[in-house]
Amino acid sequence: MKQNNSILKIIPNFLTLFRSLAAIVLPLIIIYGGEIGALMATPILILAGISDYFDGFYARKYNVTSNFGKILDPVADKLLVIGIILALASENMLDYYYSFIPALLIVLREILISGLRESISSYKVSLEVTLLAKWKTTIQLIACGSFLVWRSNVLFYNLDILGLISYILLWIAGIITFITGLEYIIKVTKVFIENKL
């Protein structure tokens, strides 16, 4: 039984490791692969997004959460999103006027919250991830995937409706990212005040 539990614990961690690896590989594929790279990156991004759902679901269902997973899971999500946004920006796949603000909001929020999470963890205080924050990651990944599909070749690049959808999704992701970041900052501030930290 103990051995089975050890095996079960490996599966969510394996999925998190896969997402961490994808956070490294995907930007490289996007930057150096051109239009074909953008197309190749799309299914990998989809798999990474699915793994994000299943590692948490699997860990909760079988009660096999681990400290390794708790630490690495949110980091992997942030690295994945930031890496893809920076890769898209470096390849001019994000239009400056329409996507700079939401993209910047996403990147700055993820870096800031990672710093706050690290600072508060030293006081042995943990904050639960809200449902909106979980949806935030999902919409971020969908927005990035939409840009990849749109920019993958000439046909999609000229498909204006897909471009419009991509920009709308990125703005929705940016707004939700800002809201969840603000919520997290308020929670952390309350914790510091209540505990006189």
Q: For 137-147, write each residue's pLDDT tens digit.
A: 889 999 998 88
Higher per-residue confidence, 165 vs 121: 165
Which residues span the domain enclosing 92?
A: 2-194
Predicted local distance difference test score (pLDDT) of residue 178: 94
Residues 6+ apart with CB under 8 A from 79: 20, 23, 24
- What CATH number is associated with residue 119? 1.20.120
Report the domain count for the chain. Answer: 1
Work out the average pLDDT over 18-27: 92
Task: Supply the DSSP symbol for 197.
Answer: -
Residues 6+ apart with CB under 8 A from 135: 176
Predicted local distance difference test score (pLDDT) of residue 1: 46
Work out the average pLDDT over 17-42: 88
Predicted local distance difference test score (pLDDT) of residue 156: 56
pTM equals: 0.83
The phi and psi torsions of 153 (rounded to 5 degrees) equal: -160, 180
Structure confidence by residue, pLDDT tens digits, 81-130: 999 999 988 877 777 667 888 999 999 998 888 888 777 776 666 667 77
Work out the average pLDDT over 22-26: 92
The phi and psi torsions of 193 (rounded to 5 degrees) equal: -70, -45
